[in-house]
């Protein structure tokens, strides 16, 4: 989990590295939980664990990797405490999801991706954008969204999944300076 | 299986909804190859980015009224939405009021130089405020800050700002910091009053912080600033690196680590040599008072030096009421984003507590 031999970093250095890698850890948490608010809470708790580890003299070499490992434990604890996601808590599937982040998680071109995503969001039809706003801006659960829109949670989940896939394609194309059409 | 189907199964799994064993097995098989894991990671990362971007646009462009959980904190804030035009809201009386309000402040909001974000709130305690033009609203995590913004904290509120270059600025309780409209040109911040701690990243142009009679030019460093105009005190304490203080009487001083420059009632600058602070930890609270705590581990001691807002610069003596010899003082240390990380009880007769 990012620990090696060497000199312990001071809290200011760890804080800086944590803040610089914050979006990567948060991205991992949102990916696992699908709920930005819970993800933010667990991110805060992860920071606390990191600060405590520093106080105990534990050497943390790679702050993002250490934080992701800690965040995973906290997510598992969260699921256990809610008695939900039993299939996921200790599953091989969770290991594979973790592996996908370990293998691919870098800061490469993050700012460019963000700009591309902003442009793609600006092109979205109003109805599509309002679905994203409900989920990510307001932080509504699928059940609440379903109540508001009189649709089933599963249908909304699939709809959002398709929107994200399209957004991903749009971002990739913009990164290659190609035009993208939503039609 | 295509990526949409994969994400659909994953979404249902993490929401605790029904997923057949067959679906779970196919998802596991699909994730067995690195190429598929890359596509999966890319999709999840996009979701994280969406979450951050949309929350960011919300905190920068609108004072939310719809989110029930936050409504009490935002009830006094103005309602604005500049990213997307509120046609539906305009149809109601409340919407008309928003519309009138928006129009009256449009010049402030669309002025191009003000639109550029120069910093982001990295963490906060309480509900520090952003003032932009004539508007004021509570900050949230990840709130972006623009040139022209004033950041103010109340008692027991604090926040950390991350500038685009990686500079970290801790704004203490009862403080007011202005990011001037010409910040990108002059790299100058204004501490109107209160307490700042800066950990400055290497920059092409030197960062400056102005107080009433003193301006600090940062030459690459970590330092602490205190400004209490009501009692006529300004102080800079340097931990690492070098800063240059320019005083309104024309005097200039270059500080080295451990030096502290104090100006009282616009009098002459007093330069003192002190052991450098090593770790800024946050706020210490007792039943009777609160103060800023700095922990000095430079000589292998866990020494607490308090910079008490009302008794500046009382670093060597802790003023936490009047503890009698042998009496214990309970200290609550707060560090990092928003949370208490450590409780410690120290004897009042300790070397550092008189």
Three-class SS of residue A113? helix
Cα→Cα distances B253→B204, B215, B217, B259, Å? 22, 11, 10, 11
CB of B320 closer than 8 Å to CB of B339: no
Q: CA–CA separation, B59 vs B78, rounded Å?
A: 12
In the predicted structure, residue B12 carries a pLDDT above the cut 90:
no
B44 interaction partners in chain A (CB closer than 8 Å) = 27-28, 30-31, 97, 100-101
Q: Which of A169, A140, A109, A16 shows the shortest CA–CA distance to B54?
A: A140
Q: What pLDDT digit, counting tens, does each position of B195-223 carry?
A: 888 878 776 677 888 888 888 888 767 77
Give A26→chain B minimum CA distance, Å: 7
Sign of the Cα pseudo-torsion (A33, A38, A43, A49, in order): negative
A117 interaction partners in chain B (CB closer than 8 Å):
46, 49-50, 53
For the stretch A68-72, contacts whose Cβ atoms lie closer than 8 Å and that sit 24 or more positions apart, written own/partner, are: A68/A24, A68/A25, A68/A28, A68/A98, A68/A101, A68/A102, A68/A105, A69/A1, A69/A2, A70/A1, A70/A46, A71/A25, A71/A28, A71/A29, A71/A42, A71/A43, A71/A46, A72/A32, A72/A98
The CA distance from A164 to B44, in Å, is 9
| In the block, residue with structure tokens 């996921």 | A88
B288 or A35, which is more confident: A35
CA of A28 to nearest chain B CA: how many angstroms apart? 7
Between B290 and A102, residue with greater pLDDT: A102
Q: What single-letter DSSP state applies at residue A147? A: H
Chain A residues lying within 8 Å of B11, measured CB to CB = 34, 157, 160-161
- Residues in contact with B250: Cβ distance below 8 Å, sequence separation at least 6, in sequence order: none
ipTM here = 0.83
What percent of chain B lies above the pLDDT cut of 90? Answer: 3
Q: Which residues pair with B121 in a beta bridge?
A: B161
Question: Does residue B225 contact residue B262 with C-beta atoms inside 8 Å?
Answer: no
Residue B281 tokens, joined? 């930890």
What 3-state DSSP class applies to B145? strand
Could you say which residues from 150 to 179 on chain B have a Cβ atom under 8 Å away from some Cβ of chain A? Answer: 160, 162, 166, 168
If you ran DSSP here, which 8-state letter would residue A134 be given? I
CB B4, CB A165: distance < 8 Å? yes
Interface of A with B in 94-113 (CB under 8 A): 96-97, 99-101, 103-105, 113
Residue B151: which pLDDT band, with cuts at 50, 70 and 90?
very high
Query: Closest by alpha carbon to B310, among B211, B213, B195?
Result: B195
DSSP state of B173: S
pLDDT computed for residue B98 by the predictor: 53
pLDDT band at B65 (very low <50, low <70, confident <90, very high): very low
Global confidence as pTM: 0.46
Is residue B39 within 8 Å of residue A17, measured between CB atoms? no
Give the phi and the psi of residue B182 in degrees, each rounded to 5: -100, 25
**With contacts defined as CB-CB under 8 Å, which chain A residues touch B66?**
138
Structure tokens at A74: 């906290």
Which chain B residue lies closest to A44 (C-alpha atoms)? B337
Shortest CA distance to B143 belongs to which of B61, B83, B71, B59?
A: B59
Looking at the predicted structure, is the pLDDT value of residue A28 above 70?
yes
Given an 8 Å threshold on Cβ–Cβ distance, is B31 in contact with A100? yes
pLDDT level of residue B123 (50, 70, 90 thresholds): confident
Half-sphere exposure (CA, 13 Å, Cβ side) for A59? 7
pLDDT of residue B107: 38
Neighbouring residues of B328: CB distance < 8 A, sequence distance ≥ 6? B345, B346, B347, B348
Segment A147-166 mean pLDDT: 87
Chain centroid to Cα B265, Å, comes to 29
Distance CA B217, CA A7 (A): 31
Contact between A103 and B38 using a beta-carbon 8 Å cutoff:
yes
Q: Kindly report, residue by residue over B280-297, the tens digit of the pLDDT.
A: 333 333 333 334 444 433
Looking at residue B126, its pLDDT comes to 77
Bridge partners, B254 (sequence order): B244
pLDDT tens figures, B20-54: 888 888 888 899 898 998 888 888 888 888 887 77
For A57-93, write each residue's pLDDT tens digit.
888 888 889 999 999 999 988 888 877 766 676 678 8
* Residue located via tokens 């979404």: B11
Whether residue B80 is predicted with pLDDT greater than 60 in this model: the reply is no
Is B163:B169 a contact under the CB 8 Å cutoff? yes
| Res B108 pLDDT > 60 | no
Q: B326-340 pLDDT, tens per residue?
A: 333 444 333 333 222
Give the residue ranges of DSSP H helices in chain B: 3-14, 21-30, 34-61, 71-74, 87-90, 93-104, 106-110, 183-186
Q: What is the pLDDT of residues B299-352, one digit of tens each?
A: 333 334 443 333 333 232 333 333 333 333 444 333 333 222 222 333 333 323
Query: Which B positions 105-134 lie with beta carbon below 8 A of chain A?
Result: 122-123
Mean pLDDT, range B61-79, rounded to an integer? 32
Contact of B202 with chain A, judged by CB distance below 8 Å, is answered with no
Close Cβ partners of A45 (under 8 Å, ≥ 6 residues apart): A74
Helix (H) or strand (E) holding B198: strand B188-199
Task: Give the residue among B218, B224, B231, B222 at the shortest CA–CA distance from B292.
Answer: B224
Contacts of B199 in chain A (CB under 8 A): 12, 16
Minimal C-alpha gap between A27 and chain B (Å): 4
All residues at 6 or more sequence positions from A13 whose CB lies less than 8 Å from its CB, including other chains: none
Which residues in chain A are closer than 8 Å to B20, comparing Cβ atoms? none
What is the maximum alpha-carbon separation in chain A? Answer: 57
CB contact under 8 A, B16 and A40: no
* Residue B110 burial (C-beta neighbours within 10 Å; 0-12, 13-18, 19+): exposed
The 3-class SS string of A34-69 reads CCHHHHHHHHHHHHHHHHHHHHCCCCCCCHHHHHHH
């Amino acid at each position: 989990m990012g620990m090696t031999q060497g000199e312990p970093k001071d809290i200011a250095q760890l804080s800086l590295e944590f803040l610089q890698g914050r979006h990567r850890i948060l991205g991992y948490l949102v990916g696992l939980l699908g709920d930005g608010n819970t993800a933010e809470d667990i991110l805060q708790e992860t920071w606390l664990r990191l600060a405590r580890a520093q106080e105990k003299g534990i050497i943390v070499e790679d702050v993002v990797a250490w934080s992701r490992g800690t965040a995973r434990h906290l997510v598992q604890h969260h699921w256990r405490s809610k008695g939900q996601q039993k299939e996921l808590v200790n599953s091989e599937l969770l290991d594979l999801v973790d592996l996908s982040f370990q293998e691919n998680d870098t800061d490469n071109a993050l700012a460019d991706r963000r700009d591309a995503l902003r442009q793609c969001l600006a092109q979205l039809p109003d109805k599509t954008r309002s679905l994203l706003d409900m989920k990510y801006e307001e932080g509504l659960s699928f059940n609440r969204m379903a109540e508001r829109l009189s649709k089933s949670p599963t249908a909304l989940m699939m709809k959002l999944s398709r929107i994200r896939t399209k957004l991903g394609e749009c971002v990739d194309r913009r990164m290659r300076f190609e035009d993208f059409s939503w039609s | 299986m295509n990526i949409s189907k994969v994400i659909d199964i994953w979404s249902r799994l993490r929401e605790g909804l029904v997923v057949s064993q067959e679906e779970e097995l196919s998802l596991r098989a699909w994730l067995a190859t690195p190429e598929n894991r890359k596509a999966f990671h890319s999709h999840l990362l996009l979701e994280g980015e969406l979450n951050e971007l949309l929350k960011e646009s919300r905190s920068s462009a609108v004072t939310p009224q719809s989110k029930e959980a936050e409504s009490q904190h935002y009830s006094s804030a103005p309602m604005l939405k500049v990213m997307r035009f509120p046609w539906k809201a305009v149809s109601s009386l409340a919407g008309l009021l928003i519309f009138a309000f928006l129009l009256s402040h449009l010049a402030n909001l669309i002025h191009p130089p003000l639109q550029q974000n120069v910093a982001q709130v990295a963490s906060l305690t309480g509900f520090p405020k952003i003032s932009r033009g004539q508007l004021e609203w509570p900050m949230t995590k990840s709130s972006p800050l623009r040139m022209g913004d004033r950041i103010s904290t109340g008692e027991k509120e604090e926040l950390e700002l991350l500038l685009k270059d990686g500079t970290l600025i801790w704004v203490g309780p009862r403080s007011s910091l202005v990011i001037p409209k010409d910040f990108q040109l002059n790299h100058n911040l204004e501490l109107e009053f209160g307490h700042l701690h800066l950990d400055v990243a290497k920059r092409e142009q030197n960062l400056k912080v102005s107080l009433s009679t003193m301006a600090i030019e940062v030459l690459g460093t970590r330092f602490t600033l205190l400004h209490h105009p009501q009692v006529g005190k300004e102080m800079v304490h340097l931990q690492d690196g070098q800063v240059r203080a320019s005083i309104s009487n024309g005097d200039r001083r270059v500080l080295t680590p451990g030096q502290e420059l104090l100006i009282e009632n616009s009098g002459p600058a007093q330069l003192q040599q002190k052991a450098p602070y090593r770790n800024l930890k946050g706020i210490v609270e007792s039943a009777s008072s609160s103060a800023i705590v700095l922990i000095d581990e430079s000589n292998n001691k866990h020494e607490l030096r308090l910079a008490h807002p009302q008794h500046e610069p009382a670093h060597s003596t802790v003023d936490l009421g009047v503890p009698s010899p042998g009496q214990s003082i309970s200290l609550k240390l707060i560090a990092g984003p928003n949370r208490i990380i450590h409780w410690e009880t120290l004897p009042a007769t300790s070397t550092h507590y008189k």
